[in-house]
Chains A and B, each alone.
Chain A
């Protein structure tokens, strides 16, 4: 069966536009703020979905990658790089627009990194760290891998919390807007809210498109073989270690990209973004979305994060995520949306008047 990921992506794009129009028409544009943040968090969950759902590996350290991206952008763009700009390197760096001037806190001008350059730096750093951690960690299995990634996440959290460069417990504020060109910028500016909404959801749809292609490619088949039984996959000539590492690094990069963009959007980042609870949340969202189900993960994570960001769960926020984890995994390990999609497929086949093909995920009608 040839997958056609473009059709659902187009449908989702229409839904995104419809949501914006509806929200604007209802005069509740402030809802878009949480929708934007939920979109960035959804990107992290989608990346983790590749690792957990398809490659069958667990990562309890994705909040660390998210904050690695966010903090790199924040540190580089808010740092006072004036000495660097005045040195011999300054000329070429400024000419390449890797550095940019901004209004200083006390008037005058300070020179910091260009957000594009900072973004590139964030991705590079995350790439290196993900390789460094992933290479040995992914050789471990099950419990050991979970603990190794959790330990890595906690190290990053403690380092962020204990280092002055990253603002210790206060985090970093005053991150400048990221000018994308064409008058677009990623910033918390109210006038840019709708534009930011489309940037954020554009990233989500790009992620979905990318991941669907991977899942339906040779690599995706390798992942599923790997998930089914690593020894069997190995004996079929699949380099399982390499595939696991690739999935891990790619999802770390997606998390870092989301972190970097969200940091520009909200103008700052704090150490709580790297806490173990955040990592657990991403795992909860992937489990709740049905593990190997990109659309399920997207819908569940966008909805739950939106509600959580709007404060609907009050002080029971974390408790709810914990209870959700237990309930879904013990009652419906395939994900709560799985029965629904099976029903939908059955309905569709009845309407279309032909039998659907048997798929490994769902039973044929």
Chain B
């Protein structure tokens, strides 16, 4: 039972990071129709920038600054690239975001080299552990769960009650209609990129002490986050949370049955399975052409 609980919590911890990536995917996909392959790079950048900044400022400030910087980068990407390329086909957009993810990753390699970095533990250190129902947990686990949970709640409130959040939902549900009622759709897209980048950066910061930060961590995160987003139903931000937790749990329990070297393959296998069997996701409604639309 204790073992079961231990696996569950480690799965939920990684799963909440996938959830953050999935929510980011959905935010951008919902408002712009672009599937941003560079989503994982936001997480990496967040962690890297926070590690660098933490050297000469207190940790909370460094995390906040990293979030802000990455959010600005995300907004800048939208303004520089996607705003002027709206007429391009899905194939072209995929290729462009892939290109961006490579350039960001290689830039990170040249700025921060290939060593593995990490932020200090938010509370305690690598030896301290909390015992809960027989499972030994790092206090950072609670930071990850708390922060991501809080961020998701804040986002949810933002969508529900703020004007900007309502504008984003309007864009996602019908782009032309949103434009007709006077919503500045271009700015909404930029905002979506910024929020999604900032959320990714936050996830990158909280996971850094236990998950480490490395220049090439983005691709795997992007795929797993995408698996989570698909599992929940693409375009629905909050369903991505459930998807992320499911992917994390599956990955964590797979270690029990398969060699640990195949752990990453499990998440990808789930992705393929969901795509082939239920491409509209577990919670999404079958929309006929939505999946088939290019």
Interface of A toward B, CB cutoff 8 Å:
52, 56, 58, 60, 136-137, 139-144, 146-148, 150-152, 154-155, 158-159, 161-163, 168, 230, 276-277, 280, 283-284, 287, 315-316, 318-319, 321-326, 329-330, 333
Contact = CB atoms under 8 A, between A and B. Distances in A.
A320 B230 CA distance: 31
Contact of A154 (B95, B101, B110, B265): B265
A325 B96 contact: yes
B272 A318 contact: no
B269 A323 contact: no
B223 A141 contact: no
Contact of B88 (A143, A162, A163, A333): A333
Task: Say what secondary structure dominates the interface of chain A.
Answer: helix
B227 A326 contact: no
B265 A140 contact: no
Given A151-B269, A324-B99, 14 more contacts: A58-B94, A142-B91, A148-B272, A155-B265, A158-B264, A162-B265, A319-B106, A319-B107, A322-B101, A325-B98, A325-B102, A329-B88, A329-B92, A330-B92
B272 to A, nearest CB: 5
Q: Which 3 pairs from chain A and chain B are nearest by CB?
A: A162-B261, A322-B102, A325-B99
Given A283-B98, A325-B102, A333-B88, A315 B110 contact: yes
B268 interface: yes
A283 B96 CA distance: 11
Interface of B: 29, 35, 81, 84-85, 88, 90-92, 94-96, 98-103, 105-107, 109-110, 219-220, 223, 226-227, 230, 234, 259, 261-262, 264-265, 268-269, 271-272, 275-276, 279, 291-294
A158 B294 contact: no
A58 B294 CA distance: 11
A161 B223 contact: no
A75 B99 CA distance: 34
Interface centre among B102, B261, B271 (most CB of A within 10 A): B102
Contacts of A277: 102
A151 B268 contact: yes
Nearest to A286: B95
